[in-house]
């Protein structure tokens, strides 16, 4: 059985060594020494001014919306994981969907302005599969219309664009450290902002709004993460370069194997490198996708229709909106297996052969 993804696990004794320190410290959660150490190491690794380690990527998004005090409409993408949209609704705001670009599969920046109304407070865009949005165009639009920008960078760990971390763009960026992501702490998330005042506010929000003993600065939530999760983050961070390298090799191998087929790949941002978070392919028709999905399944090979269906039509708590590009792409996109333990020759080549047998 080849699953579509498999979490990276560090050598067990290395995780155990971190657990030993938890027993020594007797500190289990609430911004403990391992969580602090992880935040320090990640700040360095990602070259960002500062970041917060939080419960998960969804809480990270909700904290971002709360910290920016967003109200009314938030312009967003229908081609993402459900948490991008649900956090907007959960925070009492209204998602306004803008169609995606057929090549990058990110929100189409040229269509954002037409969706802005007097009630628009922000843009919440996803760097889909770790492929950077048109951050410069979005910045110009946001400045012109006085809008805040949040990036759901759940897929974009380690991505750089124009010489700096992708997490530095927008007012706030969030990341997910869930077990299925490229780099993980079992469950976990990150909130990143360059603005020191906003950073302080987010710190309070993460801890119930508490500013000091018996004092409250904000409306907050429990966005803290535990020492056990920080331990996994620290143990995995040692292997992040090896993980990234392996994923890039597997990606190139897939590219090579599938180059003579009709499959298309998202067009990457010209100033950024693919971090190998996912391997999506776009079929000419949904029928071809279903055929390949079935053939792979017959061979015990998992795939995932990320992202299908469109968030603008799928959610029972929103009125369905048809979007030409998203509806078409989401029916035709499939993610192939990609993870650290995937075997280059035997497994990737087998997957390539099965796909080629059907398509060519
Ligand atoms: C995984 C993911 C999230 C949610 O992250 P969790 O850590 O699972 O809460 C949000 N947005 C996108 C795009 C994701 O892929």
**3-state DSSP call for residue 225?**
coil
Does residue 149 fall inside a structural domain?
yes
Q: Is the CB of 337 under 6 A from ligand 1?
A: no
Q: How far apart are CA 13 and CA 327, in angstroms?
A: 47
Whether the per-residue pLDDT at 344 is higher than 90: the answer is no
Of 96, 98, 90, which Cα lies nearest the Cα of 65? 90
| 244 and 223 in a common domain | no
Quick check: 37 pLDDT over 90? yes
Across 46-78, b (16+ Cβ under 10 Å) vs e yields: bebebbbbbbbbbbbbbbbbbbbebeebbbbbb
Q: How confident is the model over 133-177, as pLDDT tens digits?
A: 999 999 999 999 999 999 999 999 999 999 999 999 999 999 999
Looking at the structure, do residues 211 and 265 belong to the same domain, yes or no? Answer: no
Distances (CA, A) of 124 to 49, 144, 260, 353: 21, 16, 36, 39
Pocket test for ligand 1, best of 52, 90, 152 (most atoms within 8 A of CB): 152
Residue identified by tokens 């030993």 is 20
Q: Say whether both 227 and 278 belong to one domain.
A: no
* 3 within domain boundaries: no
Atom of ligand 1 nearest to the CA of 187: 7
Q: Which of 37, 66, 148, 181 is catalytic?
A: 181
Question: pLDDT for 302-317, tens place per residue?
Answer: 999 999 999 999 999 9
The reply to whether 39 and 186 lie within a common domain is yes
Q: How close is the Cα of 167 to the center of ligand 1, in Å?
A: 15
Residue 5 forms part of a structural domain? no
Distance CA 66, CA 63 (A): 5
pLDDT at 345: 80
Q: Please check the confidence at residue 6 and state whether its pLDDT lies above 90.
A: yes
pLDDT one-digit tens code per residue, 49-107: 999 999 999 999 999 999 999 999 999 999 999 999 999 999 999 999 999 999 999 99
CATH number for the domain harbouring residue 338:
3.90.1150.10
Same domain, 142 and 44: yes
Mean pLDDT of the 3-10 span: 96
258 and 196 share one domain: no
The answer to whether position 164 is within a domain reads yes
On whether residue 189 sits in a domain, the answer given is: yes
Of 214, 237, 260, the domain-final residue: 237
Say yes or no: 230 and 253 in one domain: no
Q: What is the mean pLDDT of the chain?
A: 97
Which of 213, 237, 261 is the C-terminal boundary of a domain? 237
Same domain, 193 and 52: yes
Are 209 and 258 within one domain? no
Q: Is residue 7, in this structure, part of any structural domain at all?
A: no
Q: Does ligand 1 come within 6 angstroms of the Cβ of 193?
A: no
Q: What is the CATH number of the domain that holds 18?
A: 3.40.640.10
Ligand 1 and 127: CB distance under 6 A: no
Among 201, 222, 237, residue at a domain's last position: 237
Nearest Cα neighbor of 296 from 270, 266, 335 is 335
The answer, yes or no, to whether any atom of ligand 1 lies below 6 A from the CB of 176, is yes
What is the pLDDT averaged over residues 206-227?
A: 97
Residue nearest to ligand 1 atom 5, measured at CA: 57
Distance 183 CA to ligand 1 centre (A): 12
Whether 87 is in a domain gets the answer: yes
**Is the model's pLDDT at 216 over the cut of 90?**
yes
Question: Based on the domain organization, do 74 and 170 belong to the same domain?
Answer: yes
Owning domain of residue 110: 12-98+105-237
Same domain, 215 and 287: no
Q: How far is the CA of 80 from the centre of ligand 1 (A)?
A: 9
Query: Has residue 2 been placed in a domain?
Result: no
Does the beta carbon of 80 lie inside 6 Å of ligand 1?
Answer: yes
Ligand 1: does its nearest atom lie under 6 Å from the Cβ of 56?
yes
Q: Does residue 208 sit in the same domain as residue 351?
A: no
- Classify each residue of 177-207 as buried b or exposed e, where b means 16 or more C-beta atoms within 10 Å of its C-beta: bbbebbbbbbbbbbbbbbeeebbebbbbbbb
pLDDT of residue 15: 98
* Residue 126 CA, closest ligand 1 atom number: 13
**Please, which residues bridge with residue 276 across strands?**
none
At 220-275, the pLDDT tens digits run 999 999 999 999 999 999 999 999 999 999 999 999 999 999 999 999 999 999 99
Give the rounded percent of residues in the chain with a pLDDT score beyond 70: 100
Q: How many distinct structural domains can be found in the chain?
A: 2
Q: For a pLDDT cut of 90, what percent of the chain falls above it?
A: 98
């Amino acid at each position: 059985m080849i699953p579509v993804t498999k979490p990276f696990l560090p050598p067990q004794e290395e995780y155990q060594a971190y657990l030993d320190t938890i027993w020594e410290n007797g500190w289990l959660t609430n911004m403990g020494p391992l969580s602090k150490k992880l935040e320090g190491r990640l700040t360095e690794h990602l070259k960002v001014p500062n970041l917060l380690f939080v419960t998960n990527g969804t809480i990270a998004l909700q904290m971002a919306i709360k910290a920016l005090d967003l109200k009314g409409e938030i312009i967003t993408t229908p081609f993402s994981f459900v948490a991008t949209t649900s956090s907007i609704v959960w925070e009492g705001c209204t998602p306004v969907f803008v169609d995606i670009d057929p090549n990058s599969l990110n929100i189409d920046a040229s269509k954002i302005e037409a969706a802005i109304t007097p009630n628009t407070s922000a843009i919440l865009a996803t760097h889909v599969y770790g492929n950077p949005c048109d951050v410069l165009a979005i910045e110009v639009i946001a400045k012109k219309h006085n809008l805040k920008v949040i990036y759901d960078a759940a897929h974009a760990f380690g991505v750089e664009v124009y010489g700096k971390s992708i997490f530095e763009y927008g007012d706030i960026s969030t990341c997910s450290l869930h077990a299925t992501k490229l780099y993980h702490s079992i469950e976990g998330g990150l909130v990143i902002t360059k603005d020191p005042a906003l950073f302080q506010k987010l710190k309070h929000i993460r801890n119930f709004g508490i500013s000091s003993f018996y004092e409250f600065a904000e409306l907050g939530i429990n966005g803290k993460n535990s020492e056990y999760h920080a331990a996994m983050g620290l143990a995995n961070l040692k292997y992040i370069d090896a993980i990234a390298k392996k994923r890039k090799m597997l990606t190139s191998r897939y590219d090579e194997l599938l180059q003579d087929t009709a499959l298309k790949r998202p067009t990457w941002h010209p100033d950024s490198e693919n971090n190998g978070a996912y391997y999506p392919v776009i079929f000419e028709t949904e029928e071809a996708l279903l055929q390949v999905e079935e053939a792979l399944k017959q061979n015990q090979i998992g795939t995932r229709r990320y992202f299908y269906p469109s968030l603008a039509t799928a959610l029972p708590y929103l009125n369905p909106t048809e979007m030409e590009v998203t509806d078409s792409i989401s029916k035709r996109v499939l993610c192939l297996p990609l993870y650290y333990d995937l075997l280059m020759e035997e497994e990737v080549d087998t997957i390539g052969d099965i796909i080629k047998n059907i398509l060519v």
